[in-house]
Structure 1
């Protein structure tokens, strides 16, 4: 009988270990899944891009409303493959991006030079509203500048 309890205990322990490991694994996703799929089919009406700079007091802000420009920025951002992570301390922030539908900001993005992105969902009022990711594929946030036609 003791042998039976030992086997049940070992199986239970193995299941618990597998569950703990599975729950704590970094979650891989894409920009499309993290942002676009949560828009529930609503079209992005405009994108506001703020280029931050340590050199100047004033940040450069551009709001894109032209559908072709909005689409090119969305397509560019959609290339990102992401893995959920914690953000390291003190990173350079080249861009902040606001994604709007019908003139209302739905998502705020902070793109970091070091290959990280922070995504804040303004409609979500839970602890999951703000998620940080490392960009796992080759992606240069500064390339956004070439897509903006002022």
Structure 2
């Protein structure tokens, strides 16, 4: 007979499973994306570092929509191997730097909340679990 609770712990099974989140659920819900005034993106690859500042609202929305499609699972950020990374800073009209995101290839993303209410929860690491399209970010550098 199976227990009535949703937990299998009565049978000795672990119920540990990680929820998959979107970037919207993990970070962007805390931010009024209409208040994003600019996005600074630093691309780092074998050719070095390249910086772009996006201020066009259509491009900002395209980048935020692209990032929002990423499916994430919490992860430790130990020894991430990558070919290229994008350091992305979302800046709002009233608060300046609000969030920092570091995208490692299409595999991992680290998030950082500037001026977080709980500083020890300001930084999070996630494994990207889907093949989301990074064209909006890459196109900034064309």
**Do the two structures share a fold, i.e. TM-score over 0.5?**
yes
How many residue pairs match? The answer is 132
Q: How much has 1:30 moved relative to structure 2? A: 0.7
Unaligned ranges ≥5, structure 2: 1-8
Q: Which residue in 1 is equivalent to 2:88?
A: 97
Give the structure with the larger helix fraction. 1
Task: Specify whether residues 42 and 72 from structure 1 end up closer, same or farther in structure 2 by C-alpha distance, changes over 3 A only.
Answer: closer
Give every structure 1 segment of 4 or more consecutive aligned residues whose post-TM-superposition deviation is greater than 6 Å.
Answer: none
1:81 and 2:74 correspond:
no
TM-score (norm: length of structure 2) = 0.77
Q: Counterpart of 2:137 in 1: which secondary structure? A: helix
Q: Deviations over 1:14-53 (max 9, x none)?
A: 46x77xx55x532321111122111156621110010112
Give the structure with the larger strand fraction. 2
Q: Deviations over 1:88-109 (max 9, x none)?
A: 4142242110011116111111
Q: Which residue in 2 is equivalent to 1:133?
A: 126
Root-mean-square deviation (Å): 2.7
Q: Which residue in 2 is equivalent to 1:69?
A: 59
Unaligned ranges ≥5, structure 1: 1-13
Structure whose alpha-carbon radius of gyration is higher = 1
Q: Which residue in 2 is equivalent to 1:123?
A: 115
Task: Specify whether residues 145 and 41 from structure 1 end up closer, same or farther in structure 2 by C-alpha distance, changes over 3 A only.
Answer: closer
Tell me which of 83, 99, 104 is aligned to 1:107.
99
Contact 2:106 2:131 in 1 (8 A): no
TM-score (norm: length of structure 1) = 0.74
